[in-house]
Amino acid sequence: MSGSLYKDICDKFRFSKLYEKYAQSLSNILFYKYGELLNPADKVQEAFIKLWENCAKITPEAAKSYLYTTANNMMLNEVKHQKVVLKHRQIKPKDYTNESPEFILRKKEFLKRFEQVLSQLKEEERVAFLLNKVNGKTHKEVAEILGITKKVAEHRIYAAFNKLKNELEELNRK
């Protein structure tokens, strides 16, 4: 078994030869194994940086193994990191509001009463009203959708609004 001519790889020329010899194949292996999203070329560069930082400790025979192991471990760490990022993206932030609890309660009660009054309207009034106010349709569009005249559509919308106004005192305030 022949011994190595050099005890380390701290020489710039030897290091650049290692880079030329292994960088592309290492990048290809990481690309095939982990895909492009995790930036395999960056991990190869980082592995070579670590190799340079530890060049006095690594023999030329161990350089290839060191590079492949380091780069693979960096990719595995990136995979773990991406899993954590994905997990945190799935957790929705708490719904904070500046509204007082009293206001929120009053709003819920109003919506409940609004839906109750809405359900008590005649069907043709409710449909015309919802098309106009919720879906944003004009009186003319409501008339076309329901197959009625514009005047009838207006009458139904205003009738529904007046009934809602009479039942819900909040709608009378200005």
Lowest mean pLDDT among 22-26, 35-39, 41-45: 35-39
Categorize the per-residue pLDDT at 5 as very low, low, confident or very high, splitting at 50, 70 and 90: low
**Can you tell me the distance from the alpha carbon of 30 to that of 89, in angstroms, rounded to the nearest whole number?**
26
* Contact yes or no for 51/58 (Cβ under 8 A): yes
User: So where are the chain's domains?
Assistant: 12-90, 101-168
Structure tokens at 81: 């990191």
Cα separation, 18 vs 71, whole angstroms: 15
Q: What's the pLDDT tens digit per position in 102-116?
A: 888 888 988 888 888
What fold characterizes domain 101-168? Arc Repressor Mutant, subunit A (1.10.10)
Q: For residue 3, is pLDDT > 60? A: no
pTM above 0.85, yes or no: no
Helices marked H in the chain: 12-34, 40-53, 60-90, 101-120, 123-133, 139-146, 150-167
